[in-house]
Structure formats: structure tokens, C-alpha cells
Amino acid sequence: MTKEQKSTILRLRAEGYKYVTIADTIGLSINTVKSYCRRQGAASQADDVPCCKQCKKPLVSKKGGKPRLFCSDECRNNWWKHHPSDINRKAYYDKTCAHCGKPYTVYGRPNSKFCSRACASQHRVKNAEAGS
């Protein structure tokens, strides 16, 4: 886990997001997020009873299924209507490509260095040549 990820976890936690949301946002497993929060004392009982983000009704999650955030499609639609890309925007990082110098935006990868795979591999080749 990077420093940025850790502080993102704590920030989202402070804003009341559930582990599953935080995990999705920064691309870590729920268990990683959970155990980190426990260690930081940021755990709360709210996560033991998953509730619909929109109407706050307790959710009955299907065993083995993906943890759900909403009790119904209606609630999901309503929530997103009122929170346009609220969560997703937090996972976007403005970066400058370490190879071509172009600014770019990356989703969910705070450690990203290159705007594209091509730049990443070209950079690696360049470094290898410089090193030999």
C-alpha cells in the first residue's frame, strides 16, 4: 500500500464510505482496506450491517455474490443522480508522463508514471540502453 492509498482510505473512511466502496475506488481488496482501518482505529460498526446508500435500509446480500451498495436499481439510479461521479472523481489522478512529458489523467492508479503502455516500455528500453 502506498502513502497516497493509505491517506485516501482514511479520508474516505472519515467521509463515511464503506470498505467495499473504498476498496473499489483505490483498487485494493476489501480485506486490505478493512485491516488497515482496524489498525488505524477507523473501523466502525456500520460496516457490519450493510445498508442501502440511498434509503439506508439494511441490505440482504446474496451469499457469495458481490457486496451490494443499494437495495434496488431505483435507489442506485437515484443515488448516482444526486452524486454525479462523486466517488469516481476521487480516484482520478492528474499526472505527467515520465517518458513523453504529456499530461494525462489516470483512474485508480496513483503510482502511474506513463500515459500509455508504449511510453512505459519505451522508457524502459531507454533506461536499459543508458545503463549498458
Interface residues with Zn ion (CB under 5 A) are 52, 54-55, 71, 75, 97, 99-100, 115, 119
Residues in CB range of 55: below 8 A, 6 or more apart: 71, 75
**Least separation, in Å, of the C-beta of 112 and Zn ion?**
11
Which of 88/116 has CB closer to Zn ion? 116
How crowded is the C-beta side of 71, counted as CA atoms within 13 Å? 12
How many Å apart are CA 18 and CA 93, to the nearest integer?
Answer: 21
* 24: nearest Cα among 69, 80, 65, 78: 69
Which of 3/117 has CB closer to Zn ion? 117
**Least separation, in Å, of the C-beta of 26 and Zn ion?**
23
**Least separation, in Å, of the C-beta of 75 and Zn ion?**
3
How many Å apart are CA 47 and CA 18, to the nearest integer?
Answer: 6
How many Å apart are CA 59 and CA 44, to the nearest integer?
Answer: 17
Instruction: Kindly state the cell numbers that stand for 105.
Output: 489523467
Which of 76/90 has CB closer to Zn ion? 76
Which of 68/90 has CB closer to Zn ion? 68
**Least separation, in Å, of the C-beta of 17 and Zn ion?**
17
